[in-house]
Amino acid sequence: MPVKDCKTEQLIIDTAMKVFFQEGRINATTQEIADTAGVNRTLIHYYFKSRDSLFNKVNDVADKIYRDCFDQVYLLEIPFRQKVRLLIESIIKLHEEFPFLELYLSTGVVQIALDNNLSIPVPEDKIFAFNHFYKEVEHELSKGNLKASSPMHFLTNILSLSVYPFLMRPLQLRIYKISEEKYKDFLEERTDEIMGLLFR
């Protein structure tokens, strides 16, 4: 049936995204992904020729999602403080769907793709957007509004405070011995918590 043309292909990508970034199964095999998707494993090779090829494809998709998360905010014409809040909310929202996104990005799996220059290059307009935001940060810093010593520290602070709780959720659940529900409440409080830290 030609109707299923790209549907199966998309299903495989979506499933791989789920297995990697939602469930954090970093060592997932093609068999696991095929089983989860409910398709025959050979279909993965039919659509993506090889395991690495699928992984690179998924990585490119993740890369785009990740970048869009920021780029959608950078150029908005709103007060700086509001923009930062939106950025944090945006990062947290993304990680509620894909808690293990960064875990994956920081692992060797991805570096294979990047080393071979298989990943999508960053378009000019996206670089412009980032630079625009960067300049805003510099401006706010010079006015003494921020609790940071440089733009890079400021940006690192935002990411650290927003992302780390997701990465460490499994560990923290054990250490603090709290329930999944309580941890969700904790994550809900994070945006205000982080805003309180970043500004003077």
Partner DNA sequence: GTCTATAGCGGGATAGAC
Partner DNA sequence: GTCTATCCCGCTATAGAC
128 near its own copies, rule: CB under 8 A: no
Task: Pick the binder of DNA from 18, 23, 52, 112 (CB under 7 A).
Answer: 52
Alpha helix (H) residue ranges in 18-120: 30-37, 41-48, 51-74, 80-97, 101-105, 108-115
Among 79, 108, 121, 144, binds its own copies (CB under 8 A): 108
42 binds, among DNA, its own copies, none (CB under 5 to 8 A by kind): DNA
Say which residue the tokens 């960064």 belong to: 102
* Integer Cα distance of 64 and 13 in angstroms: 14
| Residue 51 interacting with DNA (CB under 7 A) | yes
* 157's tokens: 């602070």
C-beta of 50 vs 160, nearer to its own copies: 160
Q: Considering the rule CB under 8 A, would residue 26 count as an interface residue with its own copies?
A: yes
Binding mask 8-37 for DNA (x = CB under 7 A): xx-------------------xxx------
Residues 6+ away with beta carbon under 8 Å from 34: 12, 40, 41, 43, 44
